A and B are shown apart, each in its own frame.
Chain A
C-alpha cells in the first residue's frame, strides 16, 4: 500500500546536463503531482479514492542527444576552488544530472588538505538562491548587457578624456588573471587605482612587516610546524585568514599516541571565547589592549626588544601573571624555530612586537613563510581611508565596487553615501541589491563561482583553477569578463584565464609539460598547479624604539569588539539561509547577532539573555539582544559584523506559518543589526575595537534562537546528585601529563561490563560493520560538518521561531560545554549524530518497524513507514532524532535544485536522523559490485567526515581489521558515550587531551 506521503525529490529521469530549463521543466511536472498528492493525501477517504485509480499522466523526457560521457544520475566531481573567503581552499564540486549539489574538500589540495568550512559547504544554496539578481540593472531597472556596456563605456570614455580618477574596489581577490585584467583596465585611465578592502583586514600585519622586514606582506603561517603556538586574539581555527588551512595544519601536532605522546602547546589570549580559544591548552582572558602589554613583556623577556615607552606593567593584565609569562617564555625558548606567535591586533606596535619575537625565536622561514607569503588578505586600511577621502572630495569619477558593500560594511556610511553621489559612475558587481548596489548607476551581478571560470593565487607557489559546473542561471557575468569587455576585449572568462595561464602560469609551473593543452586539461582536472616563484627575500631590521600609540582610552564604558562569526564571515553571505541558521560554534545562537557579555557584566547591568540593550558611543546607537557568554572579559562586549544586511527581510517567512508562529525577523527588518557603524577610524587604520561604549537596558526583549540551553557538563548545584556533580564522562578529557603516565587516563570508573548481554547474540554482523569515530582532540567545533550534512541530506531550514522552540532539524549537532571559572574556562565540543546503537532503544519502541537495524549495524529510519509517534526520539538517550513538525518550505523550483536526489525529502509527521550517509554506502556498494568486490576502505566517505578540516571524523568498517577505524578503535583514548548502559553504539569518540600538567579531569562516579 504505497500511498506517497513523501515529498518530491527533484529528480526523475535525468533532466540533462545542458540546460537548467529542462531540469526546471522536469521539476514542474513533479511539483504538479506533489500538489496533487498533498491535496489528495490529506484525508484518508480521498487517499483511498485517488490511490485506487490511475495517477496523473507524467512524462519522461529524454534528452535529444546524449552528451559525451554523460551518466544520468551519477555524481561526478569536478575540481574547483572555493571563493567563500579569500583563503582559496580546494573544492570538489559534486555534480549530478547537470546540477552542482555538494561541495567537498579536495584531499590533494596543499592548503585545505581535504577540508572545507561551513561557508564553502553552503555554496549550492547560494547558487540556487531565487533572490539572486538575474541580470544587470541600470538605475535600478532590469537592463540588457548591451545597454549597460554602452552606458559604462560611454562614461569611461568621458572620464578617460577628462582624466578623472577611476577606482575599483574589491575584496581580496587572488586571481592572477583578474590582476592582469585589472591593471589593463585601470591602465586606460590617467588615475586608476585598485583598492582592496577586507571586511576584517590584516592591514596591521602587513604594515608591521613593512616596518620590520621592508615588505608589506602577510606571511604564510605554518601551524603544522609549530610545537608551541601563542595566539593573541587570532581565531585561526575559526575565522582568521585561512581557518581550514590552519586547522588542517594545527591538527598535525595535536594528536598524541601511545607511541608518541607528544602534542603542541597552544596558549591563547582573547577577550571573548572563540573556536580557537576553546581548543587552547591555556586560555587567558585579556582585553585587546592587553595584547601589546603582554607582547612587550614577552619580547623583553625573550630579549627581542626592549620595553616600549609608556608600557604599563604586567600587573594590569587580568589573569596572566608574571609567573605565567616566565613559563610561556621558557616554552617558547625551548621551541626555537618551532614556535609561532600570532596576533590579530590592529595595533601596529603589537604586530611589530610579534615580528620581533618570531624573529628572535628564529621562526621566520620555518613556521612563518615570508618569502612565499600568503595573499589571502590584501586589504590596506590606508588605501581605503584615502579612497573615502577622495570620494568625499569628489575626486573619484568612476567607482566600481565588487565583494564589499561600502555603505554597509564601513562606518560613517552617510559620509560615503554623499561621496558616492559625487561620482559620475558607480558600478556595483553585487549579486544581491546591497546598499551600495541600490545607489549604483549600474549593477552588473557577478556569476556564482559554480557558474564561472576563476583562478586563484592564495599563497606563494600555488595557483588554482575553478571551472564552472553549470551554465549561469541568470544573465550574469564575472567581474573578469566585465572588466575585459570594458577594456576592449570581448573574450569570455575561460579564454581570458586560459590565455593568461598559457602566458604567465605555465612557464612558471613546476611541471609545465610539453603540451599546453595537456597542461591546461590537467590543471582543470586537478584544480591547482604548483609554480616556482622566486623567493622574495625580506630581511629583518629591528624596529626603532617602539612607542605605544596614545590611544584615548576612556575609563568609562565598555570596549566593544567587532568580530566576524565563523558562519558569517562577510556580508555577501547574508542571503545564505544555511549560514544564517547555522548555530554559532561558540554561542550556539542562530539567526541573529547579539551583544556577547560576561556573566558578571550581565549581572552588573541587570540583563539576561535576550534582553535588548542599547550600545551608544558618540552619535552611534545600536540596539541588540544580549547573550551571556562565560569566559568573556568583564569590560569587553562582542558584536558580530555582517548582519543587518538589506534584503535579508526576505527571511521573515522562512519557517512554517501557523497560529502561534512568529516570523524569523520582524516584518520589514533585516536579520540582525549592522554593527559596522561601531567600527572607527584611528588615523588610517580601521579599528574593530571601540572604546568607551555605554550600555543601556531598554527593557524590551528579543529571544535568541539558541540550540543549546544548558551549557555545562556541571550539573546545577542545587539539583546535582551527591557525588556526581557533573557529567564529564560524556565528553571525556585528560591532560598530556596524565596521558603519558596512563594512556587510559580520563576513563571513568565503570563497574559494569558494557558488553554484558541478557540475551543470546542473535545478530552477528558477518559482512560490513560500519562505525564512526570522532577525535574530540582534533574537533574544533567549527560546524563545517553540520552544513555538509545539511547539504547532503536535504535538511530543511526552519527559521528563527522553530529553532527558538528547540526544533532545529540538524542531523548532527556540535555540543559545546563550558565549565570552570571565567579565567580558566574548560570548553569541550562534541559532534553528536545518531550513534547507531546495536542495542538501539529507539528501535524496540517503534510500533510500525519504521526504525530497525541493518545487517551492517546501521540504525535505519524508513521515513515512508513512519507514522510519527515520536516514541523513538523520546527514548533516544542522545536526542539525535529530529521530527518533521511541519511541512517545511520547498516551494521554490529553483532552490529545490539544491536538493540531493539520493535522499528523500521528508514529509511532515515523520522522524528523521543521521543515516550514516547510507546513500553513499549504497552507491559505493553498487560500484564495488561492478568490480566484483566488497566495499573497501576509502570507498565511502560520509559527508561530515569528508569535509572536516581537522580530519576529526573517521568512518569505516569495524569488521575489517585493516581499516583505519578498527586500528583506532584499539586506541586507549577511544570511548563510547554512556557505555555503561550497554547501548553498544557504533559511533565512538576519542578523549580530549590538553597539554597541561595535572591529572585527568574526570570524576569517575558511576557504579
Chain B
C-alpha cells in the first residue's frame, strides 16, 4: 500500500515536471536568441502602415543605414517631417470635418492618441506650437535588435552591398508591431555570408568574409 502511494506520488511529480518542462519548451530558445522579441513600444508605431501601406522607403527614416554602422533610430524631427501635417488618421479627420460641418463650426484639430505622445515628447502643444516648459525629449524606444557587445555589425557595409533590409529584419512592411524576425545568431550570419559568396547579392558577385575579424575585434 505504502509503495503504491509513493509510486503514485512519484508519477504525479513526474507528470507535472514534464508538463512544466513542456510549457517551458515553448518559451525556450538557445541562450542569447531573442527571436520573436516584440516588446511594447512607447508609441505604437506601425511599420505596416508606414513601410507597407504608404511605401515609405526604409532609409527615409533610418537615414544612417547607408553611411554608418548604425541604421539609426529616427530622430523625432524626421517624424515631424510628415506629422507636422498628418496628425491623425484620414478617417478621424474626415469625421471631425463632417461633425464640424454638421455643427456649423471650424473643424477642430484632431490629434490621434499615439501622435499625441510624439508631440508630447517633442514638447509641442495641440496646435503643434512649441511649449516653453518642456524641451525636446528623446523617445525611449525599446531596443529590439541587439547583438552582443563582442559583435560589430555594420549596416553601411550590408546596405552598400545591396542586401535588402528584409533579409535580416524580415518583412517589416507587414509588421504592425516591430519584432525580431531572425535569430541573429552567429550561424545565421555565417551561413548567409557563405551563401552569398556562391550566389551573389541581387545578381552581383560579392565577397562576404567569413573571417573572425570580419565581426569580432
Contacts and interface: CB of A to CB of B under 8 A. Distances in A.
Interface of A: 1-9, 12-14, 22, 47-48, 51-55, 57-66, 71-74, 767, 852, 854-856, 858, 860, 862-865, 902-905, 915, 918-919, 922, 925-926, 929-930
Given A74-B67, A929-B157, 16 more contacts: A58-B143, A59-B142, A65-B75, A66-B63, A66-B78, A72-B68, A854-B211, A862-B216, A864-B151, A902-B152, A903-B217, A919-B152, A922-B154, A922-B214, A926-B160, A930-B67
B69 interface: yes
B171 interface: no
Contacts of A855: 209, 211
B37 interface: yes
Interface string B49-78: 000000000000001100111101111111
Contacts of B203: none
B179 to A, nearest CB: 12
B216 A13 contact: no
A917 to B, nearest CB: 9
19 contacts: A1-B31, A4-B149, A52-B27, A52-B31, A57-B142, A58-B143, A59-B143, A60-B141, A62-B74, A62-B138, A62-B141, A63-B138, A71-B64, A854-B212, A860-B217, A862-B216, A863-B150, A864-B151, A929-B157
Contacts of B212: 852, 854, 860, 862, 865
Contact of A1 (B30, B149, B161): B30
Nearest to B155: A73
A72 B150 contact: no
B64 A926 contact: no
Interface string B27-51: 1111111100101000000000000
B165 interface: no
Contact of B156 (A4, A54, A854, A930): A930
Interface secondary structure of B, over-half rule: loop
A904 B216 contact: yes
Given A54-B34, A66-B78, A918 B213 contact: yes
Interface in B115-132: 121-122
Nearest to A64: B136
A46 to B, nearest CB: 11
Given A4-B150, A926-B154, A854 B213 contact: yes
Contacts, number: 163
A864 B185 CA distance: 14
Given A58-B142, A66-B75, A860 B213 contact: yes
Nearest to A915: B217
Interface of B: 27-34, 37, 39, 63-64, 67-70, 72-78, 121-122, 135-143, 146, 148-152, 154, 156-157, 160-161, 185-186, 207, 209, 211-214, 216-217
- Among B27, B148, B151, B216: residue with most chain A CB under 10 A: B216
Contacts of B139: 61-62
Contacts of B151: 2, 864
A13 B62 CA distance: 12
B47 to A, nearest CB: 15
A54 B150 contact: no
A4 B150 CA distance: 8
Instruction: For the complex of A and B, list the 6 residue pairs with the smallest distance between their C-beta atoms, beginning with the closest.
Output: A51-B31, A64-B136, A2-B32, A864-B150, A62-B73, A854-B211
Contacts of A918: 213, 217
B186 to A, nearest CB: 7
Contacts of B142: 57-60
Contacts of A902: 152, 217
Contacts of A930: 67, 156, 160
Contacts of B31: 1-3, 47-48, 51-52
A74 B75 contact: no
B131 to A, nearest CB: 14
A73 B209 CA distance: 22
B216 A55 contact: no
Given A6-B149, A66-B78, A1 B32 contact: yes
Contacts of B34: 54-55
B37 A54 contact: yes
A750 B152 CA distance: 44
B115 to A, nearest CB: 16
Contacts of B209: 854-855
A756 to B, nearest CB: 27
A110 B78 CA distance: 44
A57 B40 CA distance: 10
A929 B76 contact: no
A303 to B, nearest CB: 62
- Among B139, B152, B154, B209: residue with most chain A CB under 10 A: B152
A327 to B, nearest CB: 53
Nearest to A74: B68
A864 B148 contact: yes
A855 B34 CA distance: 31
Contacts of A3: 31-32
A66 B32 CA distance: 32
Given A855-B211, A858-B213, A66 B157 contact: no
A919 B39 CA distance: 33
A856 B121 CA distance: 48
A587 to B, nearest CB: 33
A8 B150 CA distance: 8
Contacts of B217: 860, 902-904, 915, 918-919, 922
B98 to A, nearest CB: 36
Given A64-B77, A862-B212, A864-B216, A51 B32 contact: yes
B49 to A, nearest CB: 20
A29 to B, nearest CB: 9
Contact of B77 (A54, A66, A862, A926): A66
B2 to A, nearest CB: 35
Contacts of A12: 143
Nearest to B30: A1
Contacts of B72: 13-14, 62, 72
B136 A915 contact: no
Nearest to B67: A71
